[in-house]
């Protein structure tokens, strides 16, 4: 006679929840019972150990648990797998209401769209949001979601959390798929951005190594059974990520720069260097900064000093920050500002300049102690030329890449390349010298036309890159060593150290 098989029975006995919005208190009581499925082997287990297989076994997950969670709290729920963390998080989410909550699992992404097109209502908002979460890389802006690492995907979803405007951010299995350094960096960013925007965060994970970086104000430790530990901690922003604790800065080399050069949109080329400094974690190069000799002419300098600076004085007293590169894993935890701040006094020059596009969206130069002096606007003829090039299939964002330009030109026919040459001739004569990259004081239009007409694909690729650089809206920043000279801005002396 065949035995009948019954599936395991699961029966919820009680789900009692109460949320008092005035006090921010949650009262949760959840218990259930199960009856094991009868099979030949479960029957054998029951007989061997004297278990009543037909009897229901009652389990209590939360026994009238009381939690107090207010606006701006960071709630960290951790404990053993299967202890009921997800059940608690779901209960809290349901009580908070759909209108106020965004769950990271519900964020919709289009895997085939570039990041720059998936966040922010405008181009500037998109760059600002992506920079805030550490996705501040020109080529990264163009990547599709499907091309990102797990850590980068998490960062992108954090940008979407900010953009949503929702009061409560929910994440189950928080950072569980990430390596632990990346998890700590993401946790650090979550609490920093949430507190800056006065948002409430509720996360659950079996990992208990995020306490320092997440800096929760409500720490919930759930054990198997009904045991629950709740701690209320100071609700203060954590300003130092734990992974930075064993990092140091030392004078570096071109070799250190080359290790990270691939993460910069301009590639491995760098202006004649004055000094390299490397930020290291043990022997790993985490970041690098390159100081170069200053340009003879730079917008913003006259506004800062009220006069033209002689070349001899520039070479003797000025330096230019030409590159600041961080490994993508370590971005958005304050290392860019630290790299600049700690090396400014080491370069040996009383005045240090920086001309940067990203300074508009990520003010780490100012956080390092530099002063924003001026912002440049691209010439209308440059903008017109870029629009002409866009019509020929060039992407203005990748125009700064000589390699991308060369690839595009190699696929064009002779007529299209001639259209490209004509687009370059639209540009004002004042830029011919820089586009040709010559030391000659002045370049006539006829000379520039001849230069462009004879230019090879490789040369045109370089010219197009220079067009992209000239088109960018840049910020001019300045730092001065204490007790050196005076800086003037619009005729007014800037306060020194």
At 414-468, the pLDDT tens digits run 999 999 999 999 999 988 988 988 877 788 999 999 999 999 999 999 999 899 8
Model-level pTM? 0.76
What length is written for the chain?
497
- With 80 as the cut, is the pLDDT of residue 126 above it? yes
- With 70 as the cut, is the pLDDT of residue 485 above it? no
Which DSSP state fits 40? Answer: H
> Of the segments 36-40, 137-141, 230-234, which one has the largest average pLDDT value?
230-234
- With 80 as the cut, is the pLDDT of residue 32 above it? no
Per-residue pLDDT band at 225 (split at 50, 70, 90) = low
DSSP of 225-269, one letter per residue?
TT-EEEEE-------S-GGGTTEEEEE--HHHHHHHHTTSTTTT-
Which DSSP state fits 346? Answer: G
Over the chain, what is the mean pLDDT?
85
Q: Which residue has the tokens 């002779």?
A: 414
Give 355's Cβ-side CA count (13 Å radius): 18
Which DSSP state fits 474? Answer: -
Percentage of the chain beyond pLDDT 90 is 55
CA nearest to 164, candidates 129, 204, 113, 189: 129
What are the tokens at 137?
């890389």
What are the tokens at 308?
């033209």
Residue predicted with more confidence, 69 or 139:
69
The CA–CA distances, whole Å, from 491 to 63, 284, 306, 486 equal 70, 46, 7, 11
What are the tokens at 492?
């007014």
Q: Decide if 317 contacts 341 (C-beta within 8 A).
A: no
> Of the segments 279-293, 383-397, 463-477, which one has the largest average pLDDT value?
279-293
Question: Which positions ≥6 away from 388 have C-beta within 8 Å?
Answer: 419, 422, 423, 426
Question: Which positions ≥6 away from 198 have C-beta within 8 Å?
Answer: 71, 72
Q: Which of 78-87, 110-119, 235-244, 466-475 has the lowest mean pLDDT?
A: 78-87
pLDDT for residue 8: 44
pLDDT for residue 13: 45
CA nearest to 81, candidates 258, 245, 206: 206
Cα separation, 378 vs 401, whole angstroms: 19
Q: Decide if 41 contacts 86 (C-beta within 8 A).
A: no
Q: Where are the alpha helices (DSSP H) in 309-370?
A: 311-317, 335-343, 364-367
Any bridge partners for residue 60, and if so which? Answer: 31
pLDDT for residue 63: 60
Cα separation, 7 vs 234, whole angstroms: 48
- With 60 as the cut, is the pLDDT of residue 12 above it? no
- With 50 as the cut, is the pLDDT of residue 490 above it? no
Residue 376 burial by Cβ neighbours in a 10 Å radius (0-12, 13-18, 19+): middle
Q: Which residue has the tokens 């040369």?
A: 459
């Amino acid at each position: 006679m065949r035995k009948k098989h019954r599936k395991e029975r699961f029966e919820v006995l009680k789900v009692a929840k109460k949320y008092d919005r005035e006090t921010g208190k949650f009262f949760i009581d959840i218990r259930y019972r199960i009856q094991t499925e009868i099979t030949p082997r479960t029957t054998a287990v029951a007989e061997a150990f004297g278990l009543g297989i037909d009897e229901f076994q009652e389990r209590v997950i939360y026994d009238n648990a009381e939690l107090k969670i207010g606006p701006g709290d960071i709630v960290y729920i951790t404990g053993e797998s299967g202890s009921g963390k997800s059940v608690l998080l779901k209960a809290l989410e349901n009580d908070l209401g759909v209108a106020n909550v965004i769950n990271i699992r519900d964020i919709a992404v289009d895997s085939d769209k570039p990041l720059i097109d998936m966040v922010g209502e405008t181009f500037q908002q998109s760059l600002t949001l992506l920079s805030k979460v550490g996705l501040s890389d020109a080529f990264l802006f163009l990547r599709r979601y499907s091309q990102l690492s797990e850590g980068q995907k998490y960062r992108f979803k954090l940008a979407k959390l900010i953009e949503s405007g929702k009061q409560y951010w929910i994440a189950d299995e928080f950072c569980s798929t990430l390596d632990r350094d990346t998890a700590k960096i993401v946790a650090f960013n979550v609490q920093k951005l949430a507190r800056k925007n006065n948002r409430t965060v509720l996360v659950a994970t079996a990992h208990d190594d995020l306490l320092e970086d997440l800096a929760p104000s409500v720490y919930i430790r759930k054990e198997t059974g009904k045991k629950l530990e709740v701690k209320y901690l100071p609700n203060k922003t954590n300003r130092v990520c734990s992974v930075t604790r064993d990092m140091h800065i030392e004078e570096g080399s071109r070799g250190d720069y080359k290790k990270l050069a691939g993460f910069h949109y301009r590639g491995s080329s760098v202006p004649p260097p004055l000094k390299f400094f490397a930020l290291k974690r043990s022997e790993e190069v985490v970041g690098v900064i390159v100081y170069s000799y200053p340009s003879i002419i730079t917008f913003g300098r006259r506004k800062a000093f009220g006069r033209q600076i002689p070349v001899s004085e520039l070479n003797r007293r000025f330096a230019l920050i030409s590159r600041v590169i961080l490994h993508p894993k370590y971005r958005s935890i304050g290392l860019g500002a630290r790299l600049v701040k700690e090396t400014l006094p080491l370069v040996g020059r009383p005045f240090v300049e920086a001309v940067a596009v990203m300074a508009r969206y990520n003010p780490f130069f100012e956080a390092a102690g530099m002063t924003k002096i001026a912002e440049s606007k691209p010439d209308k003829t440059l903008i017109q030329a870029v629009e002409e090039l866009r019509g020929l299939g060039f992407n203005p964002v990748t125009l700064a890449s000589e390699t991308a330009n060369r690839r595009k030109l190699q696929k064009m026919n002779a007529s299209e390349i001639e259209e490209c040459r004509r687009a370059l001739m639209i540009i004002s004569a004042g830029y011919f010298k820089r586009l040709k990259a010559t030391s000659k004081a002045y370049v006539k239009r006829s000379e520039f036309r001849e230069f462009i007409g004879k230019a090879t694909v490789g040369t045109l690729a370089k010219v197009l890159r220079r067009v992209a650089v000239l088109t960018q809206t840049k910020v001019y920043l300045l730092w001065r060593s204490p007790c050196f000279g005076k800086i003037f801005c619009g005729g007014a002396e800037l306060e020194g150290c």
